[in-house]
Amino acid sequence: MSALVGVTAGFSFVPQPGSAAPPRYSYADAVRESVQVQTPLDNDADGQPDRVTVDIVRPREAAARGIRVPVVMVASPYYQCCGRGLENERKEYAADGTVTKFPLFYDNYFVPRGYAFAAVDAAGTSRSTGCADVGGREEILAVKAAIDWLNGRAAGFHADGTGATAGWSTGRVGMIGKSWDGSIANGVAATGVPGLATIVPISAISSWYDYSRFGGVVRSRRHHVFLHNLITGRPAAACAPVVAGITAGTDDATGNRNAYWDERDFRPDAGRVRASVLIAHGLNDTNVTTTQFGAWWTALARQRVPRKIWLYQQAHTDPFDVRRAEWVRTLDRWFEYWLKGVNNGIMREPQATIERAPGQWVDEPTWPAPSLPVPLRLGEGTLGLRPVAGTLSFTDNPTLRERELVADPGTPVGGRLTFLSAPVPASLRVSGTASVTLRVSVDRPTTNLTVRLVDYGTANRVNYANSSGGIVRQTTESCWGESTAADDACYFDTVEDVVATDHAVLTRGWLEASHFGSLSSPTPLEPGTWYTMTVRFQPHDFVLATGHVLGLVVSQSDRDYTSATSSGATVQVDLAGSRLTLPFAGPVRLDSPDRAPAVTTAPAPDPPAIEVIP
Catalytically active residues are 179, 285, 316
Cα distance between residue 87 and residue 76, in whole Å: 16
β-sheet bridge partners, residue 218: 213
Q: How open is the CA angle 24-487-471, to the nearest 5 degrees?
A: 100
Cα distance between residue 121 and residue 100, in whole Å: 15
Q: How far apart are the first and last CA of the chain?
A: 37
Cα distance between residue 227 and residue 77, in whole Å: 10
β-sheet bridge partners, residue 562: none
Residues 6+ apart with CB under 8 A from 360: none
β-strands 570-585, 428-432: how paired?
antiparallel
Cα distance between residue 59 and residue 226, in whole Å: 39
Residues 6+ apart with CB under 8 A from 303: 8, 270, 271, 273
Q: HEC states along 119-179?
A: EEECCCCCCCCCCCCCCCHHHHHHHHHHHHHHCCCCCEECCCCCEECCCCEEEEEEEEEEC
Sign of CA dihedral 411, 412, 416, 420: positive
DSSP string covering 367-411: SSPP-EEEEEEE-SSBEESS----EEEEE--TT--HHHHHSSTTS
Residue 353, helix vs strand vs coil:
strand
Cα distance between residue 204 and residue 281, in whole Å: 8
Interhelix angle 137-150/180-189, nearest 10 degrees:
70
Residues 6+ apart with CB under 8 A from 604: 403, 406, 407, 501, 503
Helix (H) or strand (E) holding 202: strand 196-202
Q: Residue 143 in contact with residue 149, Cβ under 8 Å?
A: no
Closest alpha carbon to 456 in 417, 422, 415, 492:
422
